[in-house]
Amino acid sequence: MVFSSLEFLFFYFPMVLAVMKCSPLKYRNFCFFVLSLFFYGWSEPFYVVLMLLSTIVDYFNGRMVEKYAENRKKAFRFVLFSIIFNLGLLGFFKYTDFIIGLLNQLGMNLTPLGITLPVGISFYSFQTMSYPIDVYRGQAKAQKSVIDFGTYVAMFPQLIAGPIVRYKDIADQLQSRSETSEKFAAGVRRFTVGLFKKVFFANNAGAIFTTISALSQKSMLLSWMGLIAYAFQIYFDFSGYSDMAIGLGKMFGFELLENFNYPYISQSITEFWRRWHISLGSWFRDYLYIPLGGNRHGTLQTLRNLLIVWFLTGLWHGAALNFVLWGLYFGFLLILEKLFVQRWLARCPRGIRHFYALFLILIGWLIFAFDDLSLLSQYGRSLFQFQRWIDDSFLFMLRENALFLILAGLACTPLFKLFYDSITPKIKQFLNPVLVLASLLICTAYLVEASFNPFLYFRF
């Protein structure tokens, strides 16, 4: 089940509201846990067992780490067990067939297992793994209630595609959280913004990219239009999901951390990765980059640590060579900026810095978009075929989509938010319900008619 579906909007969500409002306070977490399991098991009932196993294992690990807090060596064994268990689980389901494919290319003749990737496993594995680590570091206390811990792991707003919520950031909210009408209204507004991003912007941008990428012959400008549309699709798809997750969490009293901060206004790749998928970047920083030594042991080790982090960041996104290349691509760009490009950028006008960042980001999305390397190469060449820079297909697509692309570009900036914030509270009081209702009606109409409604990050 996805948030941008009629089943969620008109069946599951009203049911959750009714149950949560009727349940006594002391049973709220239990109800939320059961409802979240139902949400996760809607399309894959079997994998609920897998998530429950992960929950129980790391609940036990956290308790044991706290029990042996005075014996650091013994406590660390349970941290290590958690890491091995979660990475082993993730590796088996996500990378087994990928490794078999690589071995077959080297001459072996192994049969792929055809394993279906459990939805959201990349997210909840990282969440449960961080819990015993935080307890070991003294940054969180072990959770005594397995139901409360299960609520943290299975929490349906962020279960499928993040943001990655660390236990230490939400531990207090599991015990006590405020649910007010003001917070609920703010959550509804945030959810609606995310839904509109997904249904209107991401789906329409995705349809443009799908149409253009399917063409056997593309002019240079048409290829760039398709790539820009894909950049819009992946941003509005993922940031829209994060907005919906944050909004849903707020409706039920949870405050989830922000995951995006207008990444396409960045003026360097370093800035871009401070603004894009913030929860993943901070997770790799705190649980891998810093433990490896960060930037504390000289330039060479810093560069090594960056490459390791970005190799694994790419691999985390998917079991395909293009994701590894994508991770290494951004890793090398960040290293180059750290060594000398940032000093050059500091002397450049703002417009040049912005163009530099957007150009490299778009090339990164080209690598990300195609797991077939031959299609990647073919599309990449079409971006620079100056001898065929324009064609009738481009002019047609431009006429059909120019207004949408302009609106999408503006929606990637803080412009609409700044305008909205400038409106007086009295006018907002009238405008808020009108905008929410209008957005829901528009999105519902799109969903009734839509045949194209993918969530890109479901495959992770």
pLDDT digits (tens, 9 = 90+) for 375-416: 999 999 999 988 888 888 889 999 999 999 999 999 999 999
Q: Indicate the pLDDT class of residue 450, thresholds 50, 70 and 90.
A: low
Residues 6+ apart with CB under 8 A from 338: 270, 302, 303, 306
Helix H or strand E segment including 94: helix 72-105
For 131-151, what is each residue's pLDDT tens digit?
Answer: 999 999 999 899 999 999 999
Q: Which of 129, 246, 123, 257 is closest to 193 using CA atoms?
A: 246
Residue of 277, 297, 317, 354 marked active site: 317
Burial of 73 (0-12, 13-18, 19+ CB in 10 A): exposed
54, 86 in Cβ contact below 8 A?
A: yes
Question: What token pair was written down for 179?
Answer: 């649910």
Q: Indicate the pLDDT class of residue 457, thresholds 50, 70 and 90.
A: low
CA distance 92 to 84: 12
Question: What token pair was written down for 452?
Answer: 């194209």
Query: Can you give the pTM of this predicted structure?
Result: 0.91
Q: Indicate the pLDDT class of residue 204, thresholds 50, 70 and 90.
A: very high
Exposure string over 84-101, b if 16+ CB within 10 A, otherwise e: ebbeebbbebbbebbeee
Instruction: Indicate if the pLDDT at residue 159 is higher than 90.
Output: no
CA distance 395 to 64: 64
Q: What average pLDDT does the chain have?
A: 89
Burial of 257 (0-12, 13-18, 19+ CB in 10 A): middle
191, 243 in Cβ contact below 8 A?
A: yes
Q: Which of 370, 406, 369 is closest to 201 using CA atoms?
A: 406
Domain boundaries in the chain? Answer: 6-176, 183-459
CA distance 22 to 64: 36
For 101-112, what is each residue's pLDDT tens digit?
Answer: 888 888 888 888
Question: What token pair was written down for 99?
Answer: 């490794």
Active site residue 317: yes
**Amino acid making up residue 344:** W
Q: Which of 124, 3, 138, 143 is closest to 54 using CA atoms?
A: 124
Q: Where are the alpha helices (DSSP H) in 155-252?
A: 156-159, 167-175, 181-196, 203-213, 220-251
CA distance 152 to 175: 11
DSSP letter string, 259-301: --S-GGG-SSHHHHHHHSSHHHHHHHIIIIIHHHTTTSS-HHH
Q: State the CB neighbour count (10 A cutoff) for residue 357.
A: 22
pLDDT of residue 390: 87
CA distance 235 to 216: 26
pLDDT of residue 460: 53
Helices and strands (DSSP H and E) totals, the chain: 23, 0
Residue 223 vs residues 142, 236, 355, 362, 405: alpha-carbon distances, Å: 52, 20, 18, 11, 14
- DSSP secondary structure code for residue 119 in this structure: T
Between 350-369 and 321-336, two packed helices, what is the crossing angle to 10 degrees?
A: 160
